[in-house]
Amino acid sequence: MGPEIWTRGPLAGNAPPQDDPADPRATSPARPLAWVGAHGGAGTSTLAAVLGGLDGGRTWPRPERGEPDGVLLVGRTHAAGLQAVSRALDVFRRGEQPPGLELVAVVLVADAPGRLPRSLHQRIKVIGSAADVHRVPWTPAWRTGDLNAPAPKETAALAALLAAPPVRMS
């Protein structure tokens, strides 16, 4: 995998107009971020294909190899997915992540259409107390492999994260 995978940005249907100077994505470089799954089947490949960024699968990126230093931790909204996200968050809480990695946000992908049971919603609130959480709704087109369908409006904040320049702490 080369850096060209994570620099390509959103698919054409979701890309901002390149001639709009009011759009910050038109003038500033995109922040390279990696989608890292807390468990298998979390949705990293789909999110990377639709929104851009590096599909890290279940492997932490290595900034020393030129890979992104920002992580979008991905999990499904079922009980096992939320438990896996909690375990991965613990790695960051304990400072055991690979050197140089920053957790940018947790991304929770709907595991089914409809509302979540109260117990799962409560777990998401707990996760949200430890990290920024973005929710991705059930997207039938993605299930059938149509990654050219417009991304749900709820993913706009994620697209903005991928387009934001890196923030460096001094």
Enumerate the β-bridge partners of residue 109.
76, 136
The string of pLDDT tens digits covering residues 112-169 is: 999 999 999 999 999 999 999 999 999 999 999 999 998 999 999 998 988 876 555 4
Q: What is d(CA 30, CA 49) in angstroms, rounded to the nearest whole number?
A: 15
Give me the pLDDT at residue 33, please.
94
The pLDDT value given to residue 170: 40
Q: Return the pLDDT at 163.
A: 81
What are the tens digits of pLDDT across the range 35-60?
999 999 999 999 999 999 999 999 99
pLDDT in tens, 14-38: 334 444 444 433 444 567 899 999 9
- Report which of residues 93 and 24 the model is more confident about: 93
- Say what the pTM is: 0.79
What average pLDDT does the segment 74-79 reach? 98
The pLDDT mean for the chain works out to 83
Task: Give a three-class secondary structure readout of 60-127.
Answer: CCCHHHCCCCEEEEEEECCHHHHHHHHHHHHHHHCCCCCCCCEEEEEEEECCCCCCCCHHHHHHHHHH
Domains along the chain with CATH numbers:
33-163 (3.40.50)
